[in-house]
Chains A and B, each alone.
With several copies, the nearest count.
Chain A
Amino acid sequence: MVELVPSLLRQELANLAEDDRRIDGRSQWQSRDIKLEVDCLYNGDGSAKVTLGDTIVYAGVKFEVRTPWPDRPNEGSLMCGAELRPIAGRKYEPGPPSPESIELGRVVDRGIRESGCIDLQSLCIIPGEKVYGVMIDIHVLSDGGNIFDASALAAIAALRTTTVPASTFDIGDDHPLQVSKAPMMCSFTRVGGRYVLDANEQEELGGNERIHITLGDDGHLHSLQKGLKGVFTPAEFAEILDVAQLRCTELRDMVSAKEAN
């Protein structure tokens, strides 16, 4: 694939959009192929690997036992973080967490947290004394575009196949983590003036703002985020929300199929 300098690339993307085409031949609302593997890492209490085009993301779940927050004595905690380390691509630099990685972790975190898929009270071991802390770590190994959707999918898929390592902490037998819902994220990027689903790396390089939508099983919104420079109209949002509803259902079915294996 020819490397275009951004301004030429922008022009090329605009020309393609006018003909309702995309740089890799996909249609406007078409995603790249997704491959999902779960329970793929020793030492992860849950784990998943998502391959989305050239994007590769791992998520791992770990438990710890801790004392509850004083104002929430009957609740465990859930935390999701993301790392964007130099392995992920030429543009990533070593150093403290970048705003990009913080945003990624927090947007995925909110989608999972706000869907209520994990009952934090079910993570209580002894009220006021001991609760589980569940940590989801997202590790982007290759950024080929749209790392948000790949990360969110890896996170929820890892969670939904997680074993609570109770025996490690002398708290009875290991058992599956209860995850009652499957919130899914779907992201749109403005490319050549219009929104497309699942932008690849070139489309992100020559594109504008993006919108991340996390939807629950019932089609409710649990998390929204607009990132990067650009604005949108309410009408544009209404259109992509409809697309997101369809796409999230597809993704949810894929995760269910994986779990049924």
Chain B
Amino acid sequence: MGGYGDVKLLNDDGTRLDGRAIDEMRPLTAEVGILPAADGSAIVTHGLNVAIAAVYGPVEAHPRKIQRQDRAVVDVRYNMAPFSTSDRIRPGYNRRSREISKVTAEALESVVLVERFPRAKISVEIEILAAEAGTRCAGITAASLALADAGIPMRDMVVGVASGKIDNIVVLDLDKAEDNYGQADLPVGILPTTGEIAFLQMDGDLSPEEYNTCMEYNFKAAKEIHQIMIDALKAKYDGGA
């Protein structure tokens, strides 16, 4: 977190600079089946973030040394397009994207029924086309939808959502200014049906009580997002009915 205390992030009426209430999420839209070539795909816009995910597989894993005898491996590549950020970033992976790819893969492996596909690989490509704080969460949500669109069996979805702290107040879903100048960020991947957590990162400063409030907000928002995800899948498979 930037943690620059001299930037005021809450209005006098307790609302945030963009007018949201402290427990209010940015608008989120979702659509599946958007990429003709992929086995499954989805686009999620969350605030001004744009995340696109594609799933290829399951196919036999190559080279053989990456195969697991008893299950499929889930291979995730999280990537930010050069034009997705305020300063252009060089094409290719950096340390941040490699870390996010790793923990996102581990979160998705926790819900995909990987034991059904021994020696296989399921590739998940996450491309961030526009970034406005919260891209890893938008990416996780898009990846879950793309997996569902590909017909990969899962025991639950993983919903990406974050809360954090600004001006000593816990708020839901930090936007860019709040991320830059806030005090803490807690992105998680929630299984909306079971109430379990498959993804967890956090940085900044949170008391144990503040942590609990963040998690309350996160679980509440995960429900909302889950509904949007279900609607997106229905829109494709039920013909939008």
Q: Is the CB of B102 within 8 A of A103?
A: yes
For the complex, is A224 an interface residue (Cβ under 8 Å from B)? yes
Q: A141-B35, A225-B103 are in contact. Are A86 and B200 (CB under 8 A)?
A: no
Bound-state CA distance A113–B131 (Å) is 23
Query: How many Å lie between the Cα of A87 and that of B146 in the bound state?
Result: 12
Tell me whether B200 and A141 are in contact (CB under 8 A): no
* Shortest beta-carbon distance from B37 to chain A in Å: 4
Q: From residue A209, how far is it (CB to closest CB) to chain B in Å?
A: 7
Q: For A221, list chain B residues within 8 Å (CB).
A: 202, 205-208, 211
Q: A41-B129, A233-B195 are in contact. Are A142 and B208 (CB under 8 A)?
A: no
Residue of B nearest to A94 (CB): B77
Partner of A228, one of B95, B106, B202, B203: B106
Q: Are B197 and A135 neighbours in the complex by a CB distance under 8 Å?
A: no
A222–B1 Cα distance when bound, in Å, is: 10
Q: Is B154 an interface residue (CB 8 A)?
A: no
Contact B132 A42 (CB under 8 A): yes
Cross-interface CB contact of B91 among A83, A99, A218, cutoff 8 Å: A83
Q: How large is the interface on B (under 10, 10 to 19, 20 to 34, 35 or more residues)?
A: 35 or more
- Once bound together, how far apart are the Cα atoms of A80 and B82, in whole Å? 12
Tell me if A86 and B205 are in contact (CB < 8 A). no
- In the complex, the chain A residue whose C-beta lies closest to that of B194 is A231
Inter-subunit contact B110/A114 (CB<8 Å)? no
Instruction: Kindly state whether residue A61 has any CB partner on chain B within 8 Å.
Output: yes
Question: Is A232 in contact with chain B by the CB < 8 A criterion?
Answer: yes
B85 touches A229 (CB 8 A): no
A58 touching B103 by the CB < 8 A rule?
no
Q: Are B84 and A43 in contact (CB under 8 A)?
A: yes
Q: Which of B10-18, B22-30, B49-57, B223-231 forms contacts with chain A?
A: B49-57
When the two chains form their complex, are residues B103 and A43 in contact, meaning their CB atoms are under 8 A apart? Answer: no
* Chain A, residue nearest B114 (CB): A229
> Which of A44, A56, A141, A142 is the most central at the interface, judged by chain B CB atoms within 10 Å of its CB?
A141
Residues from 11 to 43 in A contacting B, C-beta threshold 8 Å: 41-43
Chain B residues contacting A115 (CB-CB under 8 Å) are 205
* Assembly CA distance A62 to B125 (angstroms): 24
In the complex, the answer to whether A219 meets B208 with C-beta atoms within 8 Å is: yes
When distances are taken between beta carbons in the complex, the residues of chain A under 8 Å from B84 are 41, 43-44, 60
Inter-subunit contact A60/B200 (CB<8 Å): no
The answer, yes or no, to whether A179 is at the interface (CB within 8 Å) is no
A42→B204 contact, CB < 8 A: no
A106 touches B99 (CB 8 A): yes
> Does B168 touch A at the CB level, under 8 Å?
no
A223 interface hit (Cβ, 8 Å): yes
Which residues from A are CB-within-8-Å of B206? 220-221
In the complex formed, the residue of A with least CB distance to B81 is A139
A81–B99 CA distance with the chains assembled, in angstroms: 13
**Interchain CA distance A35-B111 in the complex, whole Å:** 37
Interface string of B63-100 (1 = CB under 8 A from A): 00000001000000101011111111001100110110
Docked CA distance A103–B3 (Å): 23
Q: Which residues of B contact A143 (CB under 8 A)?
A: 37
Q: Which residues of A contact B36 (CB under 8 A)?
A: 54, 56, 142, 144
Q: Are A102 and B98 in contact (CB under 8 A)?
A: yes
List B residues at the A interface (Cβ < 8 Å): 1, 3, 35-38, 48, 50, 52, 54, 56, 70, 77, 79, 81-88, 91-92, 95-96, 98-99, 101-103, 106-107, 109-111, 123, 125, 127, 129-132, 186, 191, 194-208, 211, 215
16 new A-B contacts, CB < 8 A, other than A60-B81, A231-B198, are: A43-B86, A44-B130, A87-B127, A99-B102, A103-B99, A110-B203, A135-B82, A135-B83, A137-B82, A139-B127, A201-B37, A222-B205, A226-B201, A230-B198, A232-B196, A234-B195
User: Which residues of A does B touch, CB under 8 Å?
Assistant: 7, 41-45, 47, 54, 56, 58, 60-62, 64, 81, 83, 85-90, 94, 96-97, 99-100, 102-103, 105-106, 110, 113-116, 135, 137, 139, 141-144, 168, 201, 209, 211, 216, 218-234, 237, 241
Q: Which 6 A-B pairs have the closest CB atoms?
A: A60-B83, A224-B202, A62-B88, A87-B125, A226-B200, A54-B36
